[in-house]
Structures are given as structure tokens and as C-alpha cells.
């Protein structure tokens, strides 16, 4: 009877944890927006590789941690058709989640400077629950020792991305298949995830200074709406510093460096402002982004380069 009670409580815990579980968040969400929205694929006109690791709530045993790796780009670097793939692994308590996704996005040119992208991202999820790490009431009871509960789910994410050099507005919905799939183990437990990201780019070229305010809004039932804000300051397109605020949860700081216009590395630290601050020293995250190829110049950029070369040649001839 006692063993039956343990197993019943375990199944209830797994079910609740899966339903309430949000997809992991990065404080520096702007460095890897593709993680939240498949429509970002191909928007940069180059192939981009991103990797990030976050260790949350340091001080808690089995606290959440997440590793994410993805690569995306556009066909022939033309910025019309985007594609990519992503892999992530998240560990929370006794639960471990691994996800793999493929991505397709199509970009429509609305005006000379404005584009709209639509993206879709099918994927596969695997959930594992480490029974052998469970703390049981009776130390001599072997019912939960030496085994792993494992199951899987199919996933589809979709989103749009309206963007220009000055601003961006994007939204996505994740875990869309949810209860529509019956033959997997966990689809019936999945909840929809909704993400909204928007921001504006202020460029002060004479002072070599850029400023980017942005916002991330997330919602997953039954968790409350989560709002994050970031103010990012960049100097000379190389050094940047950002302040971060997550509503009723955390504040933090993030710093990064870009060299050779292709390699970017950042470190972030945030600490809780809610009741958890008594039990944790904060959260750490490290992110890396690499541009794998050179961006194809636009017709406007090629025209400007040609005009500048003609002007320089004219000046040289006039000085002779």
C-alpha cells in the first residue's frame, strides 16, 4: 500500500510539473531571439550560430539549468527564405527535457526598408524523470531506485517577425500540437506558450553609440504573465552593457564584446527580488554568437560603394 502511494504521488507530480513548466528563459533574450521565434531565421541575411548556458538560482540543489544551441540562415544569404535547426536541454529538479527542432521561414518585402517573416518549426521533445534521485520516506524502500521514467511528445511552433533596421515586432506560439496528438506519451500534458518581443534601435553614428530598449512578454497557463525589459547600450559596435528587469522576479546586468564583427560573447548575472532572494545567490548565464559568413551587400550598398569610388576618382583627377 505504501509503495502504491509513492507511485501515485510521483505520477501526480510529473503531470503537474509538465503542465506548469515554462520553456526556459534567458535574461539576455535579444542575443538569441531565434530561441523564441522561428520567424527570426534568415532575417540577418547571414548564417548565425548561437549557444547559451544558464544556471539559475545558484544555491538550490537541482535548480533549473538550460543549454541551448542553434544555427540559422537564409538561402544564398539573400534574406528571402530562412531555415535552421535548434537543440536544447533543460534540467529542473528530477525532470530533464531535451528538444530538437527544424525551422522554415519566408520573408516578404513590404516596403524598401520593412519586411515581414512567417516561420514554422516542427520538433520532437523527450522528457525524463530520474526516479533514482527521488527522496523517499523509507530509506530501505527500493521502489524508486535505479530507474528512469521516459516519454516523448511532438511539437510545432509558429511565429511572425515584422522588422526593419530601426525596429522589430515579433510574436510566436509554441507547443501548438498539445492535446491534438494522442499517440505520444506527453502531448496531452503540454500547454501553449506565447511570446511577444518588440524593440527599437537608436543609432548615434557621430558618437559611435547605439541604444536599444526592448521588451519580452511570455505567457503559459497556469503561470502568470511574465514581463521582461532590457536597456542595451553599445559603443563602437563592439562593447555593450545591458540592464535587465523581470517583473516581480529579478533584476540583472549583462555585458558583451564583439570582435571582428563576427564573434560575440556575453556574460549575464541577475538576482531575485522576490522571496527566493533569501535562498539563492543569483543566476548566471553565458552566451556565444558567431556569424559564419559575410553578409551579401544590398543593391543600395553596392550603388553607394560605386558612387563613392567614382567621387574619389574624380577628386584624384581634379588634383592632378
Here the cell at position 240 is 555593450
- The per-residue pLDDT for 139 is 55
pLDDT of 54 strictly over 90: yes
d(CA 49, CA 290): 5
Q: How far apart are CA 148 and CA 168, in angstroms?
A: 43
Domain coordinates in residue numbering, the chain: 2-319
DSSP H helices, the chain, are 2-20, 299-319
Q: How far is Cα 253 from Cα 319, in angstroms, rounded to an integer?
A: 53
- SS3 category, 114: coil
Rounded to 5 degrees, what angle do the CA atoms 202, 203, 207 make? Answer: 130
Percent of the chain past pLDDT 70, that is, above it, reads: 80
The most confident of 10-19, 199-208, 293-302, 307-316, by mean pLDDT: 199-208
Residue 18's pLDDT band (cuts 50, 70, 90): very low
Residues 293 and 303: beta-carbon distance below 8 Å: no
Q: How remote is the C-alpha of 68 from its chain's centroid?
A: 8
Instruction: Give the helix ranges, DSSP H, for 60-183.
Output: none
Q: Is the pLDDT of residue 253 over 90?
A: yes
d(CA 254, CA 275): 23
Give the residue from 175, 201, 215, 172 showing the smallest Cα distance to 36. 172
User: Which of 4-13, 187-196, 303-312 is the least confident region?
Assistant: 4-13
Q: For the residues 190-214, what does the mean pLDDT come to? A: 93
Mean pLDDT of 123-150: 68
In eight-state DSSP terms, residue 45 is S
232/209 Cα distance (integer angstroms): 11
Amino acid 196: pLDDT:
97
Name the pLDDT band for 6 (thresholds 50, 70, 90): very low
For residue 166, pLDDT over 80 is answered with yes
Each residue's pLDDT tens digit, 83-111: 999 999 998 878 889 999 999 999 999 99
CATH dotted code for 2-319: 2.40.160.40
Q: What are phi and psi of 19, to 5 degrees?
A: -65, -40
- Please state, rounded to an integer, the average pLDDT across all residues of the chain: 84
Instruction: Give 217-232 pLDDT, tens digit per residue.
Output: 999 988 889 999 999 9
Q: Name, of 41-45, 298-302, 316-320, the range with top average pLDDT.
A: 41-45
* pLDDT-derived band at 308, boundaries 50, 70, 90: low
Amino acid at each position: 500500500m505504501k509503495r502504491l502511494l509513492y507511485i501515485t504521488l510521483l505520477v501526480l507530480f510529473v503531470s503537474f510539473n509538465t503542465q506548469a513548466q515554462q520553456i526556459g528563459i534567458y535574461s539576455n533574450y535579444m542575443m538569441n531571439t531565434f530561441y523564441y521565434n522561428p520567424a527570426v531565421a534568415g532575417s540577418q541575411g547571414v548564417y548565425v550560430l548561437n549557444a547559451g548556458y544558464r544556471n539559475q538560482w545558484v544555491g538550490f540543489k537541482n535548480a533549473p539549468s538550460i543549454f541551448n544551441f542553434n544555427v540559422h540562415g537564409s538561402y544564398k544569404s539573400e534574406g528571402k527564405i530562412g531555415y535552421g535547426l535548434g537543440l536544447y536541454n533543460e534540467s529542473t529538479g528530477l525532470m530533464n527535457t531535451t528538444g530538437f527542432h527544424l525551422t522554415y521561414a519566408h520573408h516578404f518585402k513590404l516596403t524598401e526598408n520593412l519586411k515581414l517573416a512567417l516561420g514554422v518549426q516542427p520538433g520532437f521533445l523527450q522528457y525524463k524523470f530520474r526516479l533514482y534521485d527521488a527522496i523517499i520516506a523509507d530509506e530501505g524502500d527500493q521502489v524508486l531506485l535505479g530507474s528512469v521514467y521516459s516519454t516523448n511528445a511532438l511539437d510545432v511552433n509558429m511565429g511572425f517577425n515584422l522588422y526593419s533596421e530601426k525596429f522589430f515586432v515579433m510574436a510566436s506560439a509554441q507547443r501548438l500540437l498539445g492535446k491534438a496528438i494522442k499517440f505520444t506519451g506527453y502531448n496531452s500534458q503540454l500547454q501553449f506558450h506565447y511570446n511577444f518581443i518588440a524593440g527599437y534601435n537608436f543609432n548615434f553614428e557621430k558618437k559611435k553609440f547605439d541604444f536599444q530598449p526592448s521588451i519580452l512578454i511570455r505567457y503559459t497557463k497556469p503561470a502568470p504573465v511574465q514581463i521582461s525589459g532590457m536597456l542595451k547600450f553599445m559603443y563602437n559596435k563592439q562593447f555593450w552593457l545591458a540592464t535587465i528587469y523581470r517583473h516581480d522576479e529579478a533584476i540583472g546586468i549583462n555585458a558583451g564584446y564583439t570582435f571582428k564583427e563576427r564573434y560575440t560573447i556575453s556574460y549575464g548575472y541577475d538576482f531575485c527580488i522576490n522571496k527566493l532572494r533569501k535562498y539563492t545567490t543569483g543566476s548566471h548565464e553565458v552566451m556565444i554568437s558567431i556569424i559564419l559568413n559575410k553578409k551579401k551587400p544590398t543593391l543600395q550598398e553596392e550603388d553607394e560603394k560605386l558612387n563613392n569610388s567614382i567621387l574619389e576618382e574624380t577628386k584624384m583627377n581634379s588634383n592632378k
